[in-house]
Chain A
Amino acid sequence: MDELYRILEKPLVTEKSTLLLQEGNRVTFRVRPTANKIQIKQAVEKVFNVTVLSVNTLNVKGKHRRFGKHVGKSQDWKKAVLLLKEGDKIELFEGV
C-alpha cells in the first residue's frame, strides 16, 4: 500500500489537463519515473477507488537552467494520463 502512494507524486492541474478531463474524463498525474503503467493503474484504482481503462505515460525531460556561470538541469519526470470509466471521478481534480 505504501508503495502505491509513493508512485503517485502529485496531480497535475493545468490548462491542458483540465481540458482533457472535461473532454474525455482523463486525469493527469506526475508519477515516479520508475513506475510502469501497470503500477500506475493499480495505484490510482486503489487510492481513488475508480476504474482505470487505459494509461498513457510520457517522460518529461528536465529543463536546462543556468544561474550565472552555473549550468544546471531540473529533474526529469514522468507524466501519466489515465482514462477513467465513465462516471468515475477523482475529487482532487474537481477542485484544487
Chain B
Amino acid sequence: MQVEVEELNPQKKKLHITIPEEVVSQKVNDAYKILNRQISMPGFRPGKIPQHILEQQVPIQSFSNLFQDLMQDYYEQALRETGLEPVSQPEIDHSQLTDVRKNAPFKFSVVLDVRKRIELKNYKGLKFKKKEIVITDEQLERALERFTMMHGHTEPWEDDHPAEMGDIAVLDFDGFQGDEPLENGSSRDYEVRLGENKMIPGFEEQLVGHKVGEEFEARVVLPQQWNQKLRRVSMPVPGKEGEAPDDLATFKVRLKDLQKRVPVPLDDYLAKKEGCGSVDDLRRKLKADMQNFALQQEELRIKEEIFNQLVKEHDLEPPESLVDRELKFMIEGMKFQIEESGMKVEDSGFDEERAREEWKNRAIFNTRGYSILEAIAQKEGIHVTQQDMEEEYRRLAEQTGQKIEVVRNRMLAYPETMQQTTGKILGQKAMNYIYSNCEFEYVQNLPEKEEESGEGNKRSA
C-alpha cells in the first residue's frame, strides 16, 4: 500500500491512498465467483458462467460496496501507518469509484481533520475557592415549610377576604393593547398562585387586595421578550403584539375565586409517608438532601470554572468539523427543547442560520475545552470502559423510558452518536480527575454570590 500525505492546513490532511493491483483483482475475482453462483443465465449452469461473459453483464463498477469496504480497510491501515488521528468522520472521495478497473491499482483520497498535539499546561493542583456548605436551621425551616405546603391542600377563603401574596386566585382575564385584543392574551378560569411570578411582572401584585367577584383592570408593561416567540415557552400568556419594548397592556380581570394553601401538620404520619421513622429523621433527610444538592451545585460551578480556565490557558484552534458538529448538537438540542415544550420548531421563530452565527464562538469555545479534556484523558490514561457505557445506556434508557437493549442497539447503529457519547463520558471522567486534583480553599462566602454559608464540610470529589 502506498500512502501520500498532503497537508491542506495544519489540521487538515489529505491522504492519497493506492490499493495495489493484486488486492484489487483478487477481491474482484472473489466477488465474481460469489456472484456466479447467485445469478442464472440461459445456456449456463449456475456457477459455470465464464468470467469474461459475466464481466460484460455485470460491470465492475457495480461492486461499489466491495470497493467501499476496501477503501475503509485501507483508510484504517493508512491511519496506522501514518499515525494520524482523525477527530471526526473522514470525507472519503467516492468519485473514483466510477473509474475502477480490474487489473489496475485503485487510487482514492481522503480528507480528514487531525488533532494537533495539544501542549498541556498545568492542570493538576489548580486552586479554586470552594464554598463551605452548611444548611442553617433557618434554611431548613423554610424548606420544611415549603415541604408541608407542597403536601397540603387548598381551602377557599371567606368571601370578603382581600387577596394577598401566597393565595391561589382563579380568574378570567382579557388582555388589550390599546383597543386591540392581545393575541392569546386572554384566558378563563386561569389559576395563578400570587407571588410565584409566573405572569408578566407586575400583574400578580395588582391582584392583591381585590375580593372575590370584583372586576378591575390591571396595567402592565409588556416585557421585552414579548415579541420573541422563543421566550413564549415560559410565558403563561403568550402573545405577539407590540413592537416597541415597553408596550403597555391592559388586562380586564375578573376574580372568581380565592383559595389559601393549608400545610399539612409536620408529624410522624407525614414522616412515615416519606419513608422516614420520625419527624427528626425527616428533618435529617431533608437537610442531607439540601446539602447534597448544594454540594452538587458547587461542584458544577467549580467544574465550569475549571473548564473556562483550561480553555483560557490553552491556545488552540479546533478543527472546523468538530466545531460544526458541536454547533449541530447545540441546534438539535435547542430544537428538542422547543419541541418538548409543546411547540413546533417552525412556529417558535427559532432561526437556525442566526443561531449558527451567534453560537459559533460558544461552539468554538466548547470544542476547545473538549479537546483539552480529551488530551488530558489521554495523558492520564483515562478510558471509557464497557462499564461506563453500560451505565450511560442505563441512564439514557431511564430518561427515555425505553429498554436498555433498545438504547444500546440504537447507539451501536449510529457511529457518530456513539462517538459523541463516548467523548462526553471521557470528558466527564477527565473533568472528575482534574476536580479531584484541585486544591480548594474553603471560604465562607464567594465574593459575587451570597447564598448558604457556614462551617466546614470537607469532602473530596
Report whether chain A binds chain B.
yes
Interface residues of A (CB under 8 A from B): 12-15, 17-18, 94-96
- A13 cross-chain contacts in B, Cβ below 8 A: 43, 53
Contact A95 B43 (CB under 8 A): no
Q: Does B460 contact A (CB under 8 A)?
A: no
Hey, which chain A residues are within 8 Å of B44, CB to CB? 14-15
Whether the pair B56, A18 counts as a contact (CB closer than 8 A) is no
B48 lies within 8 A of chain A by Cβ: yes
CA A14 to CA B41, docked complex, whole Å: 9
B-to-A contact residues, CB < 8 Å: 42-45, 48, 50, 52-53, 56-57
A95 touches B56 (CB 8 A): yes
Q: List 20 A-B contacts (CB under 8 A).
A: A12-B43, A13-B43, A13-B53, A14-B42, A14-B43, A14-B44, A15-B43, A15-B44, A15-B45, A15-B48, A17-B43, A18-B50, A18-B53, A94-B52, A95-B52, A95-B53, A95-B56, A96-B53, A96-B56, A96-B57
Residues of A within 8 A of B52 (CB): 94-95
User: Which partner residue on chain A sits nearest B45 by CB separation?
Assistant: A15
Sample of 8 more A-B contacts, CB < 8 Å, known A15-B45, A94-B52: A13-B43, A14-B42, A15-B43, A15-B44, A15-B48, A18-B53, A96-B56, A96-B57
Nearest chain-B residue to A12 (Cβ)? B43
Residues on A with C-beta less than 8 A from B43 are 12-15, 17
Q: With the chains together, A13 CA to B48 CA distance in Å?
A: 13
CB-based nearest A residue for B43: A14
Could you tell me the dominant secondary structure of chain A's interface residues?
A: loop
- In the assembled complex, the Cα of A58 lies from the Cα of B48 at a distance in Å of 25
**Between A and B, how many residue pairs show CB distances below 8 Å?**
20
Q: Which of B42, B43, B44, B57 has the most CB of A within 10 A?
A: B43
Report the Cα distance A12→B53, complex, angstroms. 13
Smallest Cβ-Cβ distance to A17: which chain B residue? B43
CA A28 – CA B295 in complex, angstroms? 90
**Residue on A with the closest CB to B53?**
A96
Distance of B53 from chain A, by nearest CB (Å): 6
Q: Chain B nearest CB: distance from A28 CB in Å?
A: 10
Q: Cβ of A12: which chain B residues have Cβ within 8 Å of it?
A: 43
- Least CB distance from B441 to A in Å reads 83
**How many whole Å from A5's CB to the nearest CB in chain B?**
23
Provide the bound-state CA to CA distance between A94 and B53, in Å. Answer: 8
| A94 cross-chain contacts in B, Cβ below 8 A | 52
Q: Chain B: which residue is nearest A95 at the CB level?
A: B56
Closest to A14 in B: B43
A17 to B44, CA, bound (A): 10
Question: Across the two chains, which residue of chain A brings its CB closest to B55?
Answer: A95
Q: State the CA gap A18–B54 with chains docked (Å).
A: 12
Q: A19 → chain B, closest Cβ, in Å? A: 9
**Alpha-carbon separation in the docked complex, A94 to B55 (Å):** 11
- Per the bound structure, the CA–CA distance linking A63 and B95 in Å amounts to 51
* Cα(A14)–Cα(B44), bound, Å: 6
On chain B, the residues within 8 Å of A95 by CB distance are 52-53, 56
Closest A residue, CB atoms, query B42? A14
B86 to chain A, nearest CB (A): 42
Residues of chain A contacted by B56 (CB below 8 angstroms): 95-96
- In whole Å, how far is B92's beta carbon from the nearest beta carbon of chain A? 32
Q: Nearest residue in B to A21 (C-beta to C-beta)? A: B50
The residue among B42, B45, B48, B53 with the most chain A CB atoms within 10 A of its own CB is: B53
- Report B431 CB to chain A, min CB distance, Å: 64
Give Cα A17 to B53, complex, Å: 12
By beta carbon, the residue of chain A nearest B52 is A95
Q: How far is the CB of A27 from chain B (nearest CB, A)?
A: 14
Q: How far is the CA of A17 from the CA of B42 in the complex (A)?
A: 12
Q: How far is the CA of A57 from the CA of B52 in the complex (A)?
A: 27
A96 contacts across to B, CB distance below 8 A: 53, 56-57
A94 to B50, CA, bound (A): 11
Contacts of B50 in A (CB 8 A): 18
User: What are the residues of chain B within 8 A of A18 when measuring CB–CB?
Assistant: 50, 53
A96 and B48 CA atoms in complex are apart in Å by 15
Closest to A13 in B: B43
Closest CB-CB distance, B44 to chain A, in whole Å?
5
